[in-house]
Amino acid sequence: MIDIQNLSKVFRSGGTTHVALQKVNLKIDKGEFVSFVGPSGCGKSTLLNMIAGLIQPSEGSLLYEGEPVAGINQKVGYMTQKDTLLPWRTTEANISVPLEIRKISNAEKKEKVMRYIDMVNLRGFENHYPMQLSGGMRKRAALARTLIYDPDTILMDEPFGALDAQLKLVMQDELLRIWRETQKTIIFVTHDLGEAINLSDRVVVFGAKPGRIRMIKKIDLPRSRDVFKVRFHPHYGEIYEELWDVLEQDVGKGEVV
Amino acid sequence: MKNEAVTIEELHSVQQVKPESYSVTKNVNRLWMNRILIGVVFLAFWQFASGRLIKPFWVSDPYSIALRLYEWFSTGFIWIHIQATLSEMLIGLALGSLLAVIGGLLLGSSRFLGDVFYPIILGLYSVPRIALVPLFVVWFGIGMASKVVLVTVVVFFLVFFNAFTGVRDVDQDLINTLRIMGASKRDIFLKVIIPGASRWVFTGLRLAVPYSLMGAVTGEIIVANQGIGYLVSWSSGMFDSTGMMAALFILMICGVVADTIVTRVESKALIWKRNE
């Protein structure tokens, strides 16, 4: 579904060049949940931006369903770390943006928006503006807005990074439920190794300077997982340790993990 | 015992809700009482001082001013002047902000047009607007047209730079998010750039309203044959301080009304900003 071969990205500014990603090889299957972890500056967000088509590779190829990604990739939905709800629109109006773009009729739009508002548990907050919502609610609204136009793949760049630990688990739980229901492909960038293990089929560990893949680890914890309890699974500790050993080599090389 | 104490406290806190909202309206009333009181004291002192501490020639007195205002309104003499000033102000405001918003959106969203025209507009901006009045009088005569043009120019610069900055300031992440959703350029313009720039435009308009009145009146004072500014300058020529004060009073009312309208409209249009 997504096929990345020998992909490199070099940023040049003035006389200096910065290798953001070097010879990345990765295949992601349809319906898979894959997480990218690694220190800041390891190129994981850069790779996400390339899959979204926001930036172009310097070398190598990036195929999405067999087609090279040239320009904005409209088959994906993208949830960034910063929430990108339109501040002048209510929750309901924000979630309906993709439908407006697709010129869906008003009746259908209303019905669908309400269904997704229910899906992300935002009933009662339809007429609130983003400023009036909590961080977690804004994330839910952004998620509903991403899901509503039914992209095959959802890219998430540290979507829960700014939330407190408990809320993070709640959001992970909801994300897994929605993933099961919708069977999307999800690529999830995070700083948080525990979060990556909780959620993913595979975890891709990135190293910094230059950004590259250090390890791809299949997480063979049983589905469906309970994010509140999965860390007590007998294999969890092993998996965490194995990944941490790899991740640790780069800690301090970038900024912070 | 302890539990009971908590309950009693809670009861108190519940009971306090009502008196509190009560005292808010009470406070507002008191505020207005104070304001009116200060106004009355000021006017009374003015009336007392005029003719006793200072010659009425300089400051007139509230009674004469009120009488003059009554005379102006009852004979209908004033309407043509109010109408002139307000028309200049409103037409100039509409034209100026329309041109500014169009210009700001255009130059803001096109890198090329912006690079070409922005320095030119900045250069024009550095000319003091009042210095243009003689030119406008030569071009458009001493009637309303020259003041309308002056107000248009004053308003244009105030709103243009805000509209321009507003467009340039729009969050690229919002644009990218919509592009990934499949938005066309038109969608992005209508759904992101225009609403995003609108709060900047409002800031500019907010400033532009008092300046438009100032522009109209300034123009009238320099040269005109009607308008409230003309009344001020004409009364001045007659050494008629009562006339000047009465005209200034009308200007004050016009300013306050205009400002109130803008505040109302702004709080409606920018409702999403309220909780920021």
Contact at 8 Å (CB) between A24 and A18? no
What span, in angstroms and rounded, lies between the C-alpha atoms of B63 and A179?
Answer: 79
Cβ within 8 Å, pair A89-B272: yes
**Amino acid A16: pLDDT:** 84
With H, G, I as helix, E, B as strand and everything else as coil, classify residue A253: coil
Cβ within 8 Å, pair A80-B187: no
A52, A82, A102: residue with CB nearest B182? A102
Q: What is the pLDDT of residues A9-67, one digit of tens each?
A: 998 888 888 888 989 999 999 999 999 998 888 888 899 999 999 999 999 999 999 88
Q: List CB contacts (< 8 A) between B177 and chain A.
A: 78, 80, 84
Q: Is B274 on the interface with A (CB under 8 A)?
A: yes
Mutate one of B172, B178, B181 to test the A interface: name it (highest A CB count within 10 A).
B181
Choice between A253 and A1, residue whose per-residue pLDDT is larger: A1
Cα–Cα–Cα angle for A233, A237, A243, rounded to 5 degrees = 130
How many CB atoms within 10 Å of residue B80? 11
Cβ within 8 Å, pair A101-B183: yes
**Amino acid B21: pLDDT:** 53
Q: What residue in A sits closest to B269 (Cα-Cα)?
A: A88
The whole-model pTM stands at 0.77
Q: Along the 276 residues of chain B, how does pLDDT read in single tens digits?
A: 444 444 444 444 444 444 455 567 778 888 999 999 999 999 999 999 999 999 989 999 999 999 999 999 999 999 999 999 999 999 999 999 999 999 999 999 888 999 999 999 999 999 998 899 999 999 999 999 999 999 999 999 999 999 999 999 898 889 999 999 999 999 999 999 999 998 899 889 888 999 999 999 999 999 889 999 999 999 999 999 999 999 999 999 999 999 899 888 888 877 777 654
Alpha-carbon gap: A170 to the closest alpha carbon of chain B (Å)? 25
Question: Alpha helix locations (H) across chain B?
Answer: 2-49, 56-59, 62-75, 79-109, 111-125, 133-140, 144-169, 172-180, 185-188, 194-222, 228-237, 241-269
- Average pLDDT for A215-237: 89
Q: Is B275 on the interface with A (CB under 8 A)?
A: yes
Domain ranges in chain A are 1-71+184-257
A52, A89, A100: residue with CB nearest B180? A52
Architecture in CATH for domain A1-71+184-257: 3-Layer(aba) Sandwich (3.40)
Q: List CB contacts (< 8 A) between B182 and chain A.
A: 74, 98, 101-102, 149
